[in-house]
């Protein structure tokens, strides 16, 4: 989700204007060209009005995101699910052709069938522990739920097989190619949409911090890249997106890494953001956030002048991890945006949808976020959890979550490693 | 992988010879030899016999090779699956490639194989990480290497994938965008189809060759039986996509498959080589206790069976009932894999996926129904045979990935201590089974007292009270004491109540 930067040459014809309207950007229409930043925005009523619309919708989005963050984990998950549904419906519509669709009644329901199967599977796996922890009061409900979790794989598999059989039985002569293309397209969409959103949800329940920090870094990267390109942009970056410049890219990288360091410090002080949520409740959270969020104090070196107000800096250990996240967000996450740009060029579409006024659809907003969400989850699983998970914590998990028989089975399995 | 059954009606002319679908181990009858109610027999034609000879020869060779590999063991079967995978992927990659565009995109094919090897690393790393850990315990250096691999497995595969992703974006060429994106999507779909089923197959193999051999054999039997039933009795067509399949073939094959599932499970279940799981990556002989599923139950034959029947009692392995479910699936739902492949070939207008096997098509032609069956066999096994909860897997994964060898050993010792303590101390204070029953009979008791009710851990009650009393997730010890106190109190209270009732 990069900001578009104006090209340096004044001869760009208006035909190649790609109105990439982005999230709270100060969009510059390309015929107002810049040469070393010497020209300023042309005083044009239309441009200001469109900028106002865009800023207004951006602020509205920002405000609602902050409200949802305040409300808690469950509401954030609900927001993720809603965004998923919108993204999926935009993408499903994209490569559908109205002519063929008229001859295939009921075919688009197959898409939604697969969507709900995927949702059942993904959220069932990720939230099974949390669900079990929530529903403990009623005996019947608990049995129902644990039965569902136990047979979740079978249920989802049969739902998928039902969808596949439905697809095969609905194949119509002379429409085979279109139908198979749609089937493949559906699978690709669902994979793209669900992998990243399931990882996002898993991260949310580990602590809102691990969802908020990567998302903010992408936003910061976009905004700073826009402004750096606006003022300093000269050499183009990649053929796919001709308006991106190297200066914008490098400036944004520096700014993103710095702000990752600072933002981690600020966000890490709130228990609401750093505590994991073990069940599906919505109440207040209190916990021991773990060694990652306890500040360490470093005394400032001697060469800092006297008027500097702080004598020692407090650094949360998580800030070093945030540096890695910032590095990824600035260097690799923009490739998600390039992928989406290339895709739109390949299929000659301007935007994925038009839900958000002044911007495109949801997929336009989420293209870089998707790559970042996956990385944030994998980073968390591989580097954060091993640091915070000690023998005691795993032992507690074993005692708390497994029955006695299961514990003995686990004991036997562990024993095989040491033979 | 259904057999082609000749459709009824003498009006199918020789023009249909173009749609000849040659299948494994079949006595394929070309459509010129048309059947009407099975009245015609094979026309005496040397060409047809020669092609049947070729096909039979390659089928026998395949079956022989397959049996040899089964004898060699789990690791070799895994290698066979990997080889089949590579061939399938190569056939499918080549399928939708267009030579003209490919010349202008050098190195684009390498991208496919890069994704292929990333997928292989990911899938087999996940499935076999526990067995890998079990194998390498002797050498310290190798163990560190293996532990490191397991720990950073996900990150490694992710960065390999991202590298491929970035490579793809950087090689996008103007005016070829649509072709390249199409190829990218096609690569992903192929890899998903090929790797899902083969990874599940490998997981099943290490649970016991039986769980790989039985489903595969059922598909083969279903094909052959469907061919012969259609050959002799075939009349009403089954589905528009495959005009040569008939209802009679389908129903006859279903019946035959279910019966042979029952019988085959009995035969295969008697060999320990097939039923024992492999816990590590060794290749030696296996000895184990196969478990209650493979111990025969004896049923006496009922009275109405005539005297000349040689057996007075039948031994049935409990696994045979599960095999019935597998047989049902393979006869009714697995053929849809074949229909899918047929429809796909019609959609993109080619006759076969490849030509690796003489007399048959490519490897994908052989494997289309097997793929659907392999996925089902794995899911069935995980859900109904292995009654293991997802939690054990998750915690085992955590232990393998997050702890060093020393920490794993420490955890092991502590767990040992806990289990021993629990078995020696009369911790529950429920020594009299009568009291235990009394409590469990009462439905209105707080269910923390019903320890013999098998829910997800007897720590169930702990959790419900726990969240009301304490906000600290890691402080559990004091709550254990509270739990036992409450339990003892309830026990005593109900004892008194009954005592009081019995007096009155």
Chain A from 60 to 119: CB within 8 A of any B CB: none
- Conformation bin of residue A174: beta by default, left when phi > 0, alpha when psi is -120 to 50: left
Rg from Cα positions in chain B: 30
A108, A173, B15, B33 from B11: Cα distances, Å: 38, 21, 11, 11
pLDDT for B462? 35
Q: Are A226 and A249 in contact (CB under 8 A)?
A: no
What one-character-per-residue DSSP string does B264-283 give? HHHHHTT-HHHHS---SS--
Contact A153 B340 (CB under 8 A): no
pLDDT above 80 for A301: no
What distance in Å separates the CA atoms of residue A272 and residue A276, rounded to the nearest whole number? 9
Mind telling me how many Å the CA of A261 is from chain B's nearest CA?
A: 22
Count Cβ atoms below 10 Å from residue B109 Cβ, excluding itself: 14
Q: Find chain A residues with C-beta within 8 A of B410's C-beta.
A: 391
Q: Looking at residues A285-297, what average pLDDT do you find?
A: 80
* Of residues A332, A413, A419, nearest to B396 (C-beta): A413
Do the Cβ atoms of B462 and A133 come closer than 8 Å?
no
Cβ within 8 Å, pair B333-A401? no
Cβ–Cβ gap B169/A392 under 8 Å: no
**How confident is the model over A18-65, as pLDDT tens digits?**
434 444 333 333 333 344 333 344 445 666 676 677 777 778 888 888
pLDDT at residue B387, as a whole number: 65
Residues 315..334 of A with a Cβ closer than 8 Å to B: which?
A: 332
At B114, is the pLDDT very low, low, confident or very high (cuts 50, 70, 90)? very high
pLDDT of residue B41: 39
Per-residue confidence (pLDDT) for residue A375, from 0 to 100: 92
Does A184 sit within 8 Å of B189, measured CB to CB? yes
C-alpha distance from A380 to closest chain B C-alpha (Å): 10
Chain B residue nearest residue A163, CA to CA: B336
In this model, does residue B18 exceed pLDDT 90? no
Beta strands in A44-183 (DSSP E): none
Return mean pLDDT, chain A: 79
For A168, the closest chain B residue by CA position comes to B340
The more confident residue out of A24 and A202 is A202
> Smallest Cβ distance to A168: which of B162, B340, B422?
B340
Q: Residue B285: is it exposed, middle or buried by C-beta count within 10 angstroms (0-12/13-18/19+)? A: exposed
Mean pLDDT within A324-352: 87
Q: Is the pLDDT of residue B420 over 90?
A: no
Q: What is the pLDDT of residues B153-176, one digit of tens each?
A: 888 999 999 999 999 988 888 888
- Please list every residue in chain A whose beta carbon sits closer than 8 Å to the beta carbon of residue B177: 342-343, 345-346
Shortest alpha-carbon distance between residue B132 and chain A (Å):
9
Q: Report which DSSP code applies to B382.
A: I
Beta bridge partners of A296: A315
Identify from A389, A417, A419 which residue to disrupt to test chain B contact, counting B C-beta atoms within 10 A and taking the largest count. A417
Query: Lowest mean pLDDT: which of A92-101, B361-370, B424-433?
Result: B424-433
Identify the pLDDT of residue B487. 63
Cβ-based contacts of A407 with chain B (< 8 Å): 415, 418-419
Nearest Cα residue to A325 out of A391, A270, A382: A382
Contact A402 B391 (CB under 8 A): yes
Query: Is pLDDT above 90 for A253?
Result: yes
In this model, does residue A120 exceed pLDDT 60? yes
> In 3D, which of B495, B462, B467 has the Cα closest to residue B481?
B462
d(CA B325, CA B332): 11
φ/ψ of residue A148, rounded to 5: -60, -40
A16/B contact by beta carbon, under 8 A: no
**Residues facing B315 on adjacent strands:** B298
- Give the pLDDT band of residue A382 (cuts 50, 70, 90): confident
CA–CA gap between residue B343 and residue B223 (Å, rounded): 18
The CA distances from residue A80 to A87, A197, A201, A222, B239, in Å, are 10, 7, 8, 21, 42
pLDDT at position B383, please?
Answer: 83
Residue B448, Cβ neighbours under 10 Å: how many?
18
Chain B CB contacts of A150 below 8 Å: 383, 389
Q: How confident is the model at residue A254 (pLDDT cuts 50, 70, 90)?
A: very high
Mutate to test the interface with A, among B395, B409, B458, B462 (most CBs of A within 10 A): B395
Asked whether residue A310 carries a pLDDT value surpassing 80, the answer given is no
Nearest to B392 among A139, A151, A402 (CB): A402
Return the pLDDT at A159. 93
Kindly tell me the sign of the dihedral angle through the C-alpha atoms of A217, A222, A225, A231: negative
Q: Among A142, A278, A342, whose Cβ lies nearest the Cβ of B169? A: A342
Sign of torsion over alpha carbons B229, B235, B236, B241:
positive
Three-state secondary structure call for residue A40: coil
Task: Supply the pLDDT for residue A337.
Answer: 87
Q: What percent of chain B lies above the pLDDT cut of 90?
A: 12
Residue A333 C-alpha, separation from nearest chain B C-alpha, in angstroms? 10
| pLDDT (mean) for B114-122 | 93
What φ, ψ does residue B298 adopt, rounded to 5°? -105, 125
Residue of B nearest to A165 (CA): B336
Which pLDDT does position A394 carry in this prediction?
Answer: 78
Q: Number of residue pairs across A and B with CB atoms under 8 Å?
A: 225
Residue A40 sits at the chain B interface (C-beta within 8 Å): no
pLDDT at A307 over 80: no
Least confident of A279-293, A319-333, B243-257, B315-329: A279-293
Are B373 and B219 spatial neighbours (Cβ–Cβ below 8 Å)? Answer: yes
B41–chain A nearest CA distance, Å: 33
* Residues within 8 A of B (CB atoms), A 163-192 only: 164-165, 168-169, 171, 173, 176-177, 179-180, 184-185, 187-188, 191
pLDDT exceeds cutoff 60 at A86: yes
pLDDT, tens digit, for every residue of A56-72? 777 888 888 888 888 88
pLDDT at residue B451, rounded to an integer: 36
Does the beta-carbon distance from A399 to B418 stay under 8 Å? yes
Measure the CA–CA gap between B498 and B496, rounded to whole angstroms: 5
Chain A: give the shortest CA distance to residue B392, in Å.
Answer: 7
Compare CB distances from A411 to B348, B416, B454 and report the shortest one's residue: B416
8 Å CB contact of B177 and A342: yes
Name the pLDDT band for B234 (thresholds 50, 70, 90): confident
Give the pLDDT band of residue A376 (cuts 50, 70, 90): very high
Quote the percentage of chain A above a pLDDT of 90: 15
- CA dist., res. A63 & res. B476, Å (int): 40
Q: Do A394 and B403 touch (CB under 8 A)?
A: yes
Residue A322: what pLDDT? 93
CA dihedral sign, ordered B427, B432, B436, B439: negative
**Mean pLDDT, rounded, for A311-325:** 86
Q: Does the structure show a pLDDT above 80 at A274? A: yes
Q: B455 vs A392, which has greater pLDDT? A: A392
Q: Which residue of A has its CA nearest to B190?
A: A184
pLDDT in the model for residue B483: 53
pLDDT for B359 beyond 70: no
Q: How far is Cα B208 from Cα B132, in angstroms, rounded to an integer?
A: 17
The whole-number pLDDT of residue B377 equals: 92
Banded model confidence at residue A136, pLDDT cuts 50, 70, 90: low
Angle at A35 between CA A31 and CA A41, to 5 degrees: 50
What's residue B486's pLDDT? 61
Nearest to A391 by CA among B120, B411, B169: B411
- Return the minimum-mean-pLDDT range out of B131-135, B145-149, B426-430: B426-430
3-state SS, B424-466, equals: HCCCCCCCCHHHHHHHHHCCCCCHHHCCCCCCCCCCHHHHHHH
Question: pLDDT band at B31, cuts 50/70/90?
Answer: very low
**How many C-beta atoms surround the C-beta of residue A398 within 10 A?**
23
Task: Please judge whether A151 and B383 are an interchain contact, meaning their C-beta atoms are less than 8 angstroms apart.
Answer: yes
Is B192 in contact with A191 (Cβ distance < 8 A)? Answer: yes
Chain A: residue whose CA lies nearest to B417? A411
| Tokens coding A245 | 């410049």
- Could you tell me which residues are beta bridge partners of residue A238? A241
* Angstroms from B82 CA to nearest CA on chain A: 24
Q: Between these two residues, B138 and B422, which has the higher pLDDT value?
A: B422
A378 → closest Cβ in B158, B454, B473 = B158
Q: Residue A125's closest chain B neighbor by CA?
A: B390
Residues 6+ apart with CB under 8 A from A412: none
Question: Rounded mean pLDDT of chain B?
Answer: 73
Tell me which residue in B186, B239, B464 faces A137 most closely, judged by beta carbons. B464
Q: What is the pLDDT of residue B28?
A: 36
Phi, psi (degrees; rounded to nearest 5) at A296:
-110, 145
Predicted pLDDT of residue A367: 84
Mind listing the pLDDT tens digit for each residue in B70-101? Answer: 888 888 888 998 998 888 888 888 877 766 66
pLDDT at B302: 75
């Amino acid at each position: 989700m990069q900001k578009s930067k104006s090209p340096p040459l004044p001869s760009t014809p208006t035909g190649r204007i790609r109105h990439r309207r982005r999230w709270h950007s100060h969009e510059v229409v390309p015929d107002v060209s810049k040469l070393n930043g010497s020209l300023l925005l042309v005083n044009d009523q239309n441009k200001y009005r469109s900028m106002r619309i865009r800023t207004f919708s951006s602020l509205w989005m920002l405000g609602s995101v902050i409200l949802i963050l305040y409300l808690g984990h469950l509401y954030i998950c609900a927001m993720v699910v809603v965004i998923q549904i919108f993204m999926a419906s935009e993408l499903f519509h994209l490569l559908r052709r109205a002519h063929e669709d008229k001859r295939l009644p009921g075919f688009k329901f197959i898409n939604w069938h697969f969507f709900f199967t995927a949702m059942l599977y993904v959220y069932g796996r990720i939230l099974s522990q949390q669900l079990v922890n929530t529903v403990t009061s009623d005996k019947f409900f608990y049995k129902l739920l644990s039965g569902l979790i136990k047979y979740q794989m079978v249920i989802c598999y049969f739902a998928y097989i039902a969808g596949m059989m439905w697809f095969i039985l609905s194949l119509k002569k002379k429409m085979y190619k279109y139908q198979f293309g749609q089937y493949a397209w559906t699978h690709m969409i669902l994979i793209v949409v669900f992998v990243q959103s399931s990882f996002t949800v898993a991260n949310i329940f580990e602590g809102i911090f691990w969802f908020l920090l990567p998302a903010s870094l992408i936003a910061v990267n976009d905004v700073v890249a826009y402004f750096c390109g606006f003022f300093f942009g000269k050499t183009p970056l990649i053929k796919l997106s001709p308006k991106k410049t190297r200066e914008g890219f490098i400036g944004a990288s520096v700014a993103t890494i710095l702000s990752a360091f600072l933002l981690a410090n600020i966000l890490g002080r709130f228990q609401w953001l750093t505590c994991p949520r073990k069940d599906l409740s919505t109440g207040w959270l209190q916990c021991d956030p773990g060694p990652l969020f306890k500040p360490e104090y470093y005394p400032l070196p001697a060469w800092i002048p006297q008027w500097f107000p702080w004598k020692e800096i407090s650094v949360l250990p998580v800030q070093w991890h945030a540096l890695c996240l910032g590095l990824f967000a600035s260097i690799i996450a923009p490739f998600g945006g390039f992928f989406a740009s290339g895709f739109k060029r390949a299929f000659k579409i301007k935007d994925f949808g038009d839900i958000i006024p002044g911007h495109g659809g949801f997929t336009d907003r989420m293209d870089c976020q998707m790559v970042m969400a996956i990385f944030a989850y994998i980073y968390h699983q591989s580097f954060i959890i091993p640091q915070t998970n000690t023998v005691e914590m795993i032992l507690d998990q074993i005692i708390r979550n497994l029955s006695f028989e299961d514990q003995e089975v686990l004991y036997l399995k562990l024993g095989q490693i040491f033979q | 992988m259904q057999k082609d059954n000749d459709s009824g009606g003498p009006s199918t002319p020789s023009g249909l010879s173009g749609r000849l679908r040659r299948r494994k181990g079949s006595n394929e009858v070309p459509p010129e030899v048309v059947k009407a109610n099975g009245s015609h027999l094979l026309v005496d034609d040397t060409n047809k016999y020669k092609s049947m000879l070729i096909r039979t020869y390659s089928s026998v060779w395949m079956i022989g090779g397959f049996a040899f590999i089964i004898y060699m063991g789990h690791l070799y079967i895994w290698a066979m699956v990997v080889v089949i995978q590579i061939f399938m992927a190569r056939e499918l990659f080549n399928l939708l490639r267009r030579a003209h565009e490919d010349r202008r995109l050098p190195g684009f094919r390498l991208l496919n194989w890069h994704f292929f090897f990333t997928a292989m690393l990911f899938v087999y790393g996940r499935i076999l990480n526990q067995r890998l850990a079990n194998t390498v315990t002797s050498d310290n250096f190798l163990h560190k290497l293996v532990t490191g691999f397991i720990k950073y497995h996900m990150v490694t595969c992710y960065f390999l994938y991202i590298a491929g992703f970035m490579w793809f974006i950087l090689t996008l060429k103007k005016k070829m965008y649509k072709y390249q994106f199409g190829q990218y999507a096609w690569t992903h779909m192929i890899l998903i189809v090929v790797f899902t089923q083969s990874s599940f197959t490998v997981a099943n193999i290490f649970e016991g060759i039986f769980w790989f051999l039985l489903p595969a054999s059922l598909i083969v039997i279903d094909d052959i039986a469907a061919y012969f039933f259609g050959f002799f009795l075939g009349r009403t067509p089954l589905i528009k996509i495959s005009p040569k399949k008939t209802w009679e073939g389908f129903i006859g094959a279903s019946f035959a498959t279910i019966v042979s599932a029952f019988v085959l499970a009995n035969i295969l279940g008697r060999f320990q080589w097939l039923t024992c799981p492999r816990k590590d990556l060794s290749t030696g002989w296996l000895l184990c206790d196969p478990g209650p599923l493979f111990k025969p139950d004896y049923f006496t034959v009922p009275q109405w069976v005539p005297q000349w029947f040689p057996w007075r009692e039948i031994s049935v392995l409990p696994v045979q009932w599960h095999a019935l479910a597998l047989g049902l699936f393979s006869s009714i739902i697995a053929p849809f894999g074949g229909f899918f492949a047929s429809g796909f070939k019609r959609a993109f207008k080619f006759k076969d996926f490849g030509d690796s096997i003489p007399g048959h098509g490519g490897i994908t032609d052989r494997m289309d129904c097997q793929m659907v069956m392999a996925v089902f066999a794995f899911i069935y096994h995980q859900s109904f045979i292995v009654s293991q909860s997802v939690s054990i897997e998750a915690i085992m994964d955590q232990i393998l990935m997050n702890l060093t060898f020393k920490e794993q050993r420490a955890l092991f010792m502590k767990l040992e201590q806990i289990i021993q303590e629990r078995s020696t101390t009369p911790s529950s204070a429920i020594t009299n089974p009568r009291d235990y029953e009394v409590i469990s009979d009462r439905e209105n008791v707080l269910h923390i007292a019903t320890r013999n009710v098998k829910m997800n851990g007897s720590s169930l009650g702990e959790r419900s009270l726990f969240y009301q009393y304490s906000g600290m997730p890691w402080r559990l010890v004091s709550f254990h004491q509270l739990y036992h106190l409450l339990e003892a109190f309830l026990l005593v209270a109900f004892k008194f109540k009954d005592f009081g009732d019995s007096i009155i």
